[in-house]
């Protein structure tokens, strides 16, 4: 029994020895080290900014990382007057800030006005990646609040744009996630200007004009601008749009996240360009005439012309500029399904447009030869109806081919890449392919001019100058 008591005694002495050595160690440390030793490594890390590569326009003007801003990391436990913080943020964010202050755990905000440096407010410089009225938002895409790429170029080129570096602030916190008073925060990483990135073919100035026009005149639709000599895309505007700064406020049923530039729709009378190309390439004459009485019966279907009283005897020039359905249906029935379908494929319809790996515009839809064996189906096809679907990008590509004297370039969106030193590595330029003759192209160009000058497209005529 005596041996047992002796064993217990020495065990107690041993435990006290450990505790005394621990207390001696703590007493020899700084205050912050002592607290850390007591509570362990419980921390709260606040991200100030995720350093990320830049997306540029064709002239190496940045589209992202345009604006430098001041961000503040807030420790609510040290804030004596919250009004100073609230007055330095935007009006729409104030309610959210009030709520965050009540949680008493550190957080980061972007300032819209100056704030005095005071206890609990730590200021840092950073880039604001996005801003309101952001250009080509559907195509550029966005990253979420955690820096994770979600859509568009941001997602397609995430492996290039992502740097895995960030500026963070770390606090030692208690069990309630409140910063412990008296312990200095730690800054990890740094804010960096990242030159590395992706160079698009977009033109910032043209893009801005298109976005402003879309906001004024388009409720649901798209604008696509292509360089006719190269096939390079200069602008892409899709409406309705959204702000990457207010994602939570977007109605998911509004279609605001759909990129209509790359989505397929009914084509309509724009397909008559292809009818005309087939007609002229097969020896059709400018002044040949067909009769329009206001409608045409094909099988069991009666298809009306846009001029229900009829055009009478009408030539190609008038039929094109006035968009006569009867004329082009008669042309198609005469030319046959094979030639028109093949020409549609030559112009790029029915094929997806691969702008880069992971960035693809939809293929749309072409009817099969079998389905076009029905004359009513061919009639609808010839005026852009029926099964035919195409994207605004595909239609723009058709017009690019015509305006480039018959030589088609596959649409392109990526001009090259910039390295860490800011040096551009250009992508190889694509080769063009002749689709129709120069003479046919020149004729269609004149027909398109006439359509705007005095035909069904007169509303598109510029206020000054001409088509």
Positive or negative: CA dihedral 288, 293, 298, 304:
positive
Check: CB of residue 325 under 8 Å from CB of residue 306: yes
Q: What's the average model confidence in pLDDT over 252-257? A: 84
**Among the ranges given (14-28, 107-121, 276-290, 412-426), the one the predictor scored with the smallest mean pLDDT:** 14-28
pLDDT digits (tens, 9 = 90+) for 136-175: 999 999 988 778 899 999 999 999 999 878 888 888 888 7
Q: What does the alpha-carbon distance between residue 326 and residue 339 come to, in Å, rounded to a whole number?
A: 19
Residue bearing the bigger pLDDT, 373 or 46: 373
Reported confidence tier of residue 285, pLDDT bands at 50, 70, 90? confident
Residue 437 token pair:
């003759």
Say whether pLDDT at 399 is over 80. yes
Q: What's the average model confidence in pLDDT over 452-464? A: 86
Q: CA separation (Å) from 205 to 19, 57, 127, 141, 180? A: 71, 10, 22, 19, 50
Q: What does the alpha-carbon distance between residue 233 and residue 319 come to, in Å, rounded to a whole number?
A: 31
Say whether pLDDT at 329 is over 70. yes
pLDDT digits (tens, 9 = 90+) for 1-50: 555 555 555 566 655 655 555 555 545 444 445 444 444 457 888 888 88
pLDDT of residue 318: 94
Say whether pLDDT at 245 is over 60. yes
Q: Furthest-apart CA pair in the chain: how many Å? A: 128
| 214-460: CATH number | 3.40.710.10
Residue bearing the bigger pLDDT, 242 or 370: 370
Q: What does the alpha-carbon distance between residue 278 and residue 297 come to, in Å, rounded to a whole number?
A: 23
Check: CB of residue 295 under 8 Å from CB of residue 308: yes
pLDDT of residue 341: 98
- Count of other CB atoms within 10 angstroms of residue 176: 8
pLDDT of residue 288: 86
Instruction: Label the pairing between strands 54-56 and 197-200.
Output: parallel
Say whether pLDDT at 192 is over 90. no
Of 289, 329, 324, 331, nearest in space to 310 by CA: 324
Residue bearing the bigger pLDDT, 303 or 246: 303
Q: Tell me the whole-structure pTM to 2 decimals.
A: 0.84
Q: What percent of the chain has pLDDT over 90?
A: 55
pLDDT of residue 9: 55
pLDDT of residue 19: 57
**Among the ranges given (127-136, 196-205, 260-269, 362-371), the one the predictor scored with the smallest mean pLDDT:** 127-136
pLDDT of residue 32: 46
Say whether pLDDT at 190 is over 50. yes
- Count of other CB atoms within 10 angstroms of residue 211: 22
Q: What's the average model confidence in pLDDT over 348-369? A: 95
Q: What does the alpha-carbon distance between residue 345 and residue 160 come to, in Å, rounded to a whole number?
A: 34
Of 434, 438, 407, 444, nearest in space to 274 by CA: 444
Say whether pLDDT at 248 is over 90. no
Residue bearing the bigger pLDDT, 334 or 116: 334
Specify whether the backbone of 177 is left (phi greater than 0), alpha (psi in -120 to 50) or beta.
Answer: left
pLDDT digits (tens, 9 = 90+) for 217-227: 999 999 999 99
Q: What's the average model confidence in pLDDT over 73-93? A: 86
Q: What does the alpha-carbon distance between residue 139 and residue 412 come to, in Å, rounded to a whole number?
A: 13
Q: What's the average model confidence in pLDDT over 246-254? A: 77
Domain range list for the chain = 214-460
pLDDT of residue 193: 80
Say whether pLDDT at 269 is over 50. yes
Residue bearing the bigger pLDDT, 48 or 56: 56
């Amino acid at each position: 029994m005596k041996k047992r008591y002796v064993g217990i005694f020495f065990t107690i002495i041993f435990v006290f020895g450990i505790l005394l050595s621990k207390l001696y160690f703590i007493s020899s440390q700084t205050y912050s080290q002592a607290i850390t030793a007591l509570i362990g490594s419980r921390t709260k890390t606040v991200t100030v900014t995720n350093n990320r590569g830049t997306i540029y326009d064709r002239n190496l003007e940045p589209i992202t990382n345009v604006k430098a801003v001041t961000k503040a990391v807030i420790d609510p436990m040290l804030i004596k007057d919250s009004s100073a913080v609230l007055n330095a943020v935007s009006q729409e964010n104030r309610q959210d800030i009030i709520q965050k202050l009540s949680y008493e755990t550190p957080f980061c905000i972007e300032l819209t006005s100056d704030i005095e440096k005071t206890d609990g407010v730590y200021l840092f410089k950073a880039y604001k990646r996005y801003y309101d009225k952001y250009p080509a938002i559907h195509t550029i895409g966005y990253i979420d609040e955690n820096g994770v790429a979600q859509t568009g170029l941001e997602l397609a080129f995430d492996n290039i744009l992502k740097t895995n570096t960030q500026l963070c602030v770390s606090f030692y916190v208690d069990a309630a996630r409140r910063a412990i008073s008296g312990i200095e925060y730690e800054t990890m990483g740094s804010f960096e200007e990242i030159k590395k990135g992706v160079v698009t073919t977009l033109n910032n100035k043209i893009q801005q004009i298109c976005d402003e026009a879309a906001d004024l005149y388009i409720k649901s639709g798209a604008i696509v601008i292509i360089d006719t000599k190269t096939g390079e895309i200069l602008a892409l505007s899709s409406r309705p749009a959204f702000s990457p700064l207010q994602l939570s406020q977007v109605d998911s049923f509004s279609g605001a996240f759909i990129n209509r530039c790359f989505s397929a729709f009914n084509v309509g009378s724009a397909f008559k360009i292809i009818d005309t190309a087939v007609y002229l390439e097969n020896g059709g004459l400018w002044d040949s005439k067909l009769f329009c009485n206001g409608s045409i019966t094909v099988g069991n279907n009666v298809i009306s012309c846009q001029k229900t009283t009829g055009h009478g005897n009408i030539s190609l020039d008038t039929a094109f500029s006035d968009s006569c359905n009867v004329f082009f249906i008669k042309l198609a029935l005469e030319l046959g399904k094979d030639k028109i379908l093949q020409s549609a494929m030559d112009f790029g319809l029915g094929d997806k447009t691969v702008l880069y790996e992971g960035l693809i515009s939809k293929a749309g839809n072409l009817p099969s030869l079998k389905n076009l064996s029905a004359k009513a189906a061919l009639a609808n096809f010839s005026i852009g109806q029926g099964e035919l679907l195409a994207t605004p990008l595909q239609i723009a590509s058709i017009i690019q081919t015509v305006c480039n004297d018959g030589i088609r370039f596959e649409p392109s969106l990526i001009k090259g890449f910039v390295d860490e030193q800011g040096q551009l590595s250009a992508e190889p330029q694509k080769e063009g392919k002749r689709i129709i003759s120069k003479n046919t192209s020149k004729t269609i160009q004149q027909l398109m001019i006439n359509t705007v000058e005095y035909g069904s497209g007169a509303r598109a005529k510029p206020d000054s100058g001409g088509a």
